[in-house]
Amino acid sequence: MKLLQKKTLSVLLLGALIPVLSGCGSNSSNANTNANANAAPEKSNAAATATEAPKETEVKSEPVTISYIGAASQLAVGNIKELIAQWEQKTGNKVDIQAIQDDQYDNLVKAKLSGGGDVDVFFGAYSKYDVPNQLLEISGESFESRLNDVALSSLKYTDGKIYAFPYPSSQGTWGVFYNKTIFSDLGLTVPKTMDDLNKDLAAIKAGGKTPFYFAAKDGWTMLQHHNAVNGILGGADAQVWDKLNKNEVQWKDIPDFVHQYKQVEDWAKKGYFNKDFLTGTYEKQQLSLAKGDVAMVVQGAFFVPEVIKQNADAQIGFFPLPNQDGSETIGLSGGTQIFIAKSSKHPEESKDLLRFLTEQPQAQSALEAAPGISPFKDVDVSAKMPDAVKEVQAFVNTGKIAKHGDDAYVIPMPYDDLVAAYAELLAGKITADQFVQKHQDMYAKNAKIAKIPGF
C-alpha cells in the first residue's frame, strides 16, 4: 500500500489495523426496550370500564434490510459482523454486508451515490464526496461528548456540521519506538529535547549500534517520519494547517518544520542511519529493532505488534519525536468515518444501527478485537496492548495531541515526489533547505491541479 493507505495504516494496521464500528443510544428499534419500565400503573377493572376509550390496533413496522458497504480489508478485521448480528437479533432488521475489493471500493460507492443505487451505510472520507448533497447530517448525536478532541474535530465538516459516525477502530499515532535494552545497556534516558536526542544518537553510534533504521525500499515507511513531524507542527501552532490551506504561509516559514529536516541532514552526514537504507524494507526494519541491531525507528503504533512477532522478548518503548524546546505533541489521525447516504431508503434504521455500534459496550468490544488507540474517552483497551502501545495510549491520555496533518491539510499528497525527496535527503544528495523547497513546490503544484483557492 502507498502512504495514504499506510499512514492510515495507522488506521488500517494496528488496531489498525483496521476498524470496527460503533453507535450510541437507540432509535425506533430501541424504542420498546424500556416500555415496561416506563408504563403507567394499571387501572382497576372498575375504573377502566366506564372511561377507557377503545384502543387502536398497534401497527408494527415491517423489518427492513440495510445496505452496508465496506472495503474488504476493513470488514476482515475485528468483530464487526458479530456486533451487527447482535443488532439484527435485537431489532429484527437485516444488514446486507457487502465486502468490496479495496481498489474498487471508492469508484463503486461514488457510482452508487451519483446513480441513485441502493446504498445506506458506507465508509470513506469527507474529501471523497459532495458532503451536503450526498451525506446525511447527523449532528447532535450523544457520541460527541465521548470522543477525544481530535476524533471529534475530524468529524466536523467545513460547515461545522457532522455527517459521519465514528468508526470504533484505533486512531493512528506516530513517534519514536526504541529498543529499551540498548538504552539500558548504554545508560541512556528517554530524550525530551532535540539536543537530548542528539546526545543519545552519538552515544549509540559510539556503542557500536545503529541509531536509526530507515527503510527506503518501501517508500511509505520513510514517510512515517513525515507523519511524526506533522504532529509537532499542529501542537506548536493550532492554526498552522489553516494557514497552509489558505497559502498564507509557506513550509520554509515554519521554524519547527525546517528544524526537523536540518536534523535529518545532520544525521545523514554523521552516519546515524542503517547503511542499507536504500534497500531496507519494512520487514527488515521490524527485525532490526526486535533483535537489537538498531536502537530506534520512527513509525506508527501499528508497527509494534509486528516487532513483537519477530521477537516476543523484545523490550520496546515509545517517546514523541522531540522538538527544539522540549514541548511534546503527537499527531493523531481522526480515524475512519462511516456515513449514511442522504438518499438512503432507511435513514432512521441506519442511524439506529450506527448508534448501537458506537455505544460503549460495543465500542469496547470492537477495540478489544483489534486493539489500538481509542477515539472514545470511555473506552480503553490498554490491557490488550503491547507495552509500547500502552505508553502511546498513556501519552494520548495527557491530551498532548494534535490533528494529524493528512487529515487537516486539504492539498493531495504528492506521494511519489515526496518519497523521492526523502530518499535524496537521507542519501545526502540534497540539503534540508532544498528538501523544504521541493516540499513547497510539489504541494503547490498539486494545489493548482486540484484548483484549491489561493494557489
Q: Is 325 exposed, middle or buried (0-12, 13-18, 19+ CB in 10 A)?
A: exposed
Assign 117 a pLDDT band (cuts: 50, 70, 90): confident
Report d(CA 330, CA 322) in Å as an integer.
Answer: 10
Tell me, what's the pLDDT at 336? Answer: 81
H or E element, residue 66: strand 65-71
Query: Three cell numbers at 341?
Result: 447516504
Please tell me the predicted confidence (pLDDT) of residue 424. 96
Average pLDDT over residues 93-101: 96
| Cα dist from 382 to 70, 149, 328, 390, whole Å | 27, 19, 21, 5
Q: Which residues contact 141 (CB under 8 A, 6 or more apart)?
A: 24, 25, 162, 165, 355
| pLDDT for residue 2 | 39
Tens digits of residue pLDDT in 437-455: 999 999 999 999 999 999 9
Mean pLDDT value across the chain: 87
Residue 118 DSSP code: S
Give a three-class secondary structure readout of 169-189: CCECEEEEEEEHHHHHHCCCC
Q: Is the pLDDT of residue 14 over 50?
A: no
Residues facing residue 176 across a β-bridge: 298, 319
pLDDT of residue 407: 85
C-alpha–C-alpha distance, residues 425 and 450, integer Å: 27
Please provide the size of the chain in residues.
455
**CA–CA gap between residue 395 and residue 234 (Å, rounded):** 16
pLDDT greater than 50 at residue 42: no
pLDDT digits (tens, 9 = 90+) for 329-379: 999 998 789 999 999 999 999 999 999 999 999 999 999 998 999 999 999
pLDDT digit string, tens, across residues 118-132: 899 999 888 889 999
Contacts of residue 81, defined as CB under 8 A and 6 or more positions apart, other chains included, come to 75, 97
* H or E element that contains 124: strand 121-124
Pick from 73-77, 167-171, 391-395 the range whose average pLDDT is largest: 391-395
Cβ partners under 8 Å of residue 224, min gap 6: 6, 7, 174, 298, 299, 300, 303
Vertex 93 angle, CA 91 and 98, to 5°:
130
Of residues 404 and 15, which shows the higher confidence score? 404
Strand-pair partners of 373: 171
Query: pLDDT value at position 190?
Result: 97
State if pTM tops 0.85: no
Q: What is the pLDDT, as a whole number, of residue 425? A: 97
For residue 185, what are the CA distances in angstroms to 193, 207, 226? 21, 9, 30
CB neighbours of 369 closer than 8 A, spacing ≥ 6?
A: 20, 77, 78, 79
Residue 352, all three cell numbers: 439506529
- Residues 293-326: pLDDT tens digits? 999 999 999 999 999 999 999 999 999 999 988 8
| pLDDT for the residue 272 | 97
Instruction: Tell me the three cell numbers of residue 104.
Output: 474498487
- For residue 231, pLDDT over 50 is answered with yes
Q: Residue 152 — very low, low, confident or very high, per pLDDT cuts 50/70/90?
A: very high
Q: Are 238 and 408 in contact (CB under 8 A)?
A: no
- Taking only the tens place, the pLDDT of each residue in 44-89 is 333 333 334 444 434 457 899 999 999 998 888 889 999 999 999 9
